[in-house]
């Protein structure tokens, strides 16, 4: 697909999405709409099993485009937030894992983009946070909701209300980051992680993500019921037979055979 502010490609089962609006990779309306379209495209590409999102240069995404927002009316602000929620919601809910390779500053909308992803790998040079209250605003792309679910309400309130940007080590300590690696090892680490996930049973990976997501928004009994049904769905495919046979024979499973 052709985009003005994104670069997308796919290779070896991995879909790569680069936010390419230097110098800050700020999110304006056009970038948000392109993210929405890109998620639709990745969702329908059968040979893409995992998606990685990163930023151009030394930035991940340094926030929303403040210059664009200064002229918003209340209605325009709501529309902008709705577009962001729609795009980031597609990242969170798509049936393929999405990894944020956070290569630089991830502030405001950049932090919200990262926490919409399933896994976050941060370069050790990263600063991440939600500084919106410095501008008389609140996070508008899901930050107040996803951050609290990820790190707990107390830490989320501290980060959002103080507007502090934290370093990668602190992000790892509070559970905001899954891994922190040297900046020059970020691509290698994320590629290795994406390939590992892509090597697993594709239906199982999709269902596992769906079960975890649903469990965050329901009670334990309903979550367990959904898991039971999803476990049964696994056996409606050939993947369990392929996976167990490969395990017993000490071979790598050929998941493509499940489609034959």
- Catalytic positions are 112, 132
Instruction: Identify whether residues 173 and 246 lie together within a single domain.
Output: no
Distance spanning both ends of the chain, measured CA to CA: 29
| Position 259 pLDDT exceeds 90 | no
Please give the model's pTM, rounded to 2 decimal places: 0.96
**What percent of the chain has pLDDT above 70?**
100
How much is the average pLDDT of 188-206? 98
Instruction: Identify whether residues 218 and 179 lie together within a single domain.
Output: no
CA–CA gap between residue 81 and residue 29 (Å, rounded): 10
pLDDT digits (tens, 9 = 90+) for 68-109: 999 999 999 999 999 999 999 999 999 999 999 999 999 999
pLDDT at 256: 87
Asked which of 159, 175, 198 is the last residue of a domain, the reply is: 198
Instruction: Identify whether residues 182 and 215 lie together within a single domain.
Output: no
Instruction: Identify whether residues 31 and 89 lie together within a single domain.
Output: yes
| Position 215 pLDDT exceeds 90 | yes
pLDDT at 152: 98
pLDDT at 233: 97
pLDDT digits (tens, 9 = 90+) for 148-183: 999 999 999 999 999 999 999 999 999 999 999 999
Instruction: Identify whether residues 255 and 236 lie together within a single domain.
Output: yes
How much is the average pLDDT of 121-147? 98
The domain spanning residue 17 has which CATH number?
A: 3.90.226.10
| Confidence at 1, pLDDT banded by 50, 70, 90 | confident
| Position 119 pLDDT exceeds 90 | yes
| Position 260 pLDDT exceeds 80 | no
Asked which of 171, 198, 225 is the last residue of a domain, the reply is: 198
Does residue 1 form part of some domain?
no
- State how many domains the chain has: 2
Instruction: Identify whether residues 71 and 157 lie together within a single domain.
Output: yes
Residue found under tokens 């390779």: 101
Instruction: Identify whether residues 86 and 214 lie together within a single domain.
Output: no
pLDDT at 257: 86
The domain spanning residue 212 has which CATH number?
A: 1.10.12.10
* Beta-strand relationship, 6-11 and 50-55: unpaired
Domain limits at 159?
6-198
How much is the average pLDDT of 34-50? 97
| Confidence at 222, pLDDT banded by 50, 70, 90 | very high
| Confidence at 258, pLDDT banded by 50, 70, 90 | confident
């Amino acid at each position: 697909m052709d985009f003005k502010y994104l670069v997308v490609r796919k290779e070896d089962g991995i879909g790569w999405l680069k936010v390419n609006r230097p110098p800050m990779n700020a999110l304006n309306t056009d970038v948000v709409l392109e993210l929405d379209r890109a998620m639709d495209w990745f969702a329908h590409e059968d040979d893409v099993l995992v998606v990685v999102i990163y930023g151009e240069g030394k930035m991940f995404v340094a926030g929303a485009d403040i210059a664009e927002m200064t002229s918003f009316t209340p209605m325009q602000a709501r529309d902008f937030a709705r577009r962001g929620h729609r795009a980031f919601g597609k990242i969170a809910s798509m049936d393929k894992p999405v990894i944020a390779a956070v290569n630089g500053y991830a502030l405001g909308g950049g932090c919200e983009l990262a926490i919409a992803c399933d896994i976050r790998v941060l370069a050790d040079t990263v600063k991440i946070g939600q500084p919106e209250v410095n501008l008389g605003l609140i996070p508008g792309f899901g930050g107040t909701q996803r951050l609290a679910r990820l790190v707990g309400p107390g830490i989320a309130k501290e980060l959002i209300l103080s507007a502090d940007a934290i370093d990668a080590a602190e992000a790892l300590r509070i559970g905001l980051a899954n891994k922190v690696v040297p900046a020059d090892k970020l691509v290698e680490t994320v590629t290795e992680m994406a390939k590992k996930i892509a090597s697993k049973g594709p239906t199982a990976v999709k269902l596992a993500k769906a079960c975890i997501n649903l469990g965050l928004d329901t009670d334990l009994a309903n979550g367990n019921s959904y898991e039971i049904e999803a476990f049964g769905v696994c056996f409606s495919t050939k993947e369990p037979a392929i996976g167990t046979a490969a395990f017993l024979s000490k071979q790598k499973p050929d998941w493509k055979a499940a489609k034959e």
